[in-house]
Amino acid sequence: MPRTWIVLAIVYAAFFSWYTSFEGPFTPEEVEAMLEQMAERRPGEDLSTIRRFLETDTGDDFVMVNLIDSPAKPKAIEGVPPGATTAEVNARYMEHMWPELLKRACHPVMAGIATAAAMDVWGIEGAEDWTTVGMMRYRSRRDLIDIASNPAFQGPHEFKIASMTKTIAFPIDPWFQLGDPRLVLALAFVAIGALVGRRERRS
């Protein structure tokens, strides 16, 4: 095999192993243990939604859809200096999140700013106004739980609360998107390898 193909194969294997979860879905025992830990940290809280989220784990990646309504000025909490903007406060929250997300191959799929109030709302009150929407890809549900259960996350999470008036977040799974990076990179490497091989044969 030409050296070019070997290098491309090694790089792709490294990327694929980072971008893909191989740990499998949560086992029933893991689910019960995790819920017990959450119940200790959040006494009296209804954990039925989290239970369903864990029990229906496929072990594969998923996307979290986030609808966010941000205030003109952030809420006053400890650590938010006077005059700070909502964007600056949210950036304080993301300072913690980005390293945790990226090392687990979690990244935005889409993000945008609302251009108008909701044009179709029924069966829910107070859902007319939103400022931004984001879709975050998580490598697995394990990765999301690892991030959320990290004690270091509790402090920065207050900045998220201060920078939002209301939010809705829900996971979608299974999901489909055009342009999975694993497929795009594989096609790009095949094209690069073919072009390099062709030039070497000509020379």
- Where exactly are the structural domains of the chain? 61-173
Cα(148)–Cα(138) distance, integer angstroms: 12
Greater model confidence, 91 or 116: 116
Indicate if the alpha-carbon torsion angle 147, 126, 164, 130 is positive or negative: positive
User: Containing H/E element for 87?
Assistant: helix 86-102
Q: What is the pLDDT of residues 148-175, one digit of tens each?
A: 887 777 667 788 888 999 999 999 987 7
Quote the tokens at residue 7: 């290098």
Q: Which amino acid is at 199?
A: R
Q: Which fold has domain 61-173?
A: Alpha-Beta Plaits (3.30.70)
Q: What is the pLDDT of residues 42-86, one digit of tens each?
A: 888 899 999 999 999 999 999 999 999 999 888 887 777 788 889
